Copies of this chain bind each other. A is one copy, B any other.
Amino acid sequence: MNGRLLITCPDRHGIVAAVAGFLAGSGANIITSDQHSTDPEGGEFFMRMEFTLEQGDLSALGRAFGQEVGDRLDMRWRLTDGGRPKRMAILVSKEDHCLVDLLWRHRRGELDADIALVASNHPDHRADVEGFGIPYHHVPYPNEPELLELLNDVDLVVLARYMRILSGGFLTTLDTPVINIHHSFLPAFAGANPYQRAFERGVKIIGATAHYVTEELDAGPIIEQDVARVSHREHAETMVRLGRDIERTVLARAVKWHLEDRVLVHGNRTVVF
């Protein structure tokens, strides 16, 4: 049995010793451990430990952890079962490069998830998606009630170039992490038509940003970014083509890290272990 323990708490003396001591005393064998402190004096402390547990069960371990360690050290923590893939849904509009890349990576075993469904405001991708054995739902816009029903029991929603804005009410009701890929190196070119605007501004580097979705458009915590060089030779249209390669890679990394419980959110920033 493989467990992942994620902790956020005020930094203070003895946290590592307390957690590692608890796990060792519970028969858990720590495989990897990462920690970060914004400031050893009065800062915020983050930790991720991955461990194996040869006997016993994770929920009992979690209850004991909360009582013996978590409460005492003011921790927000969660314990996940590394052997249980998350249920993931993908939303997409016209552009299919991020969708297809996620489906292929999943088939190659790179993404440890169950892809429950793909939903789109366009009918176009049905054959491709069903070819991977995954249900495809065409939900024409406006579609928030239908989406809420479809997404009702998933652990993660991925916006793989889904070009409709999700309302604050939708996000609140959904109450599930949503990862979006934005086709610029945010905060530059938030909003619509980023490649066109990048072209007009004459930048020499374009990029893409994967972030958690919050009510404020393109302003949520950034998980990953990457860039590519462009020159005066590129039009907005060739930027679109070059950008596809960055978008799909950046989104795939962010989704993989989320699925492996490597991302902790802190205010509007992320810690990625």
Contacts and interface: CB of A to CB of B under 8 A. Distances in A.
A172 interface: no
Interface residues of A, number: 59
A143 B154 CA distance: 48
A232 B29 contact: no
Contacts of A13: 24, 29
A150 interface: no
A226 to B, nearest CB: 7
A224 B241 contact: no
A231 B38 CA distance: 12
A104 interface: yes
Contacts of A185: 185, 188, 203, 205
Given A202-B222, A202-B268, A40 B33 contact: no
Contact of A226 (B14, B205, B222): B205
Contacts of A186: 188, 201, 203
Given A16-B33, A20-B20, A36-B232, 19 more contacts: A13-B24, A14-B24, A16-B24, A17-B20, A17-B23, A17-B30, A21-B21, A31-B37, A33-B33, A40-B52, A110-B241, A186-B201, A187-B189, A201-B269, A202-B268, A203-B222, A205-B225, A232-B270, A232-B272
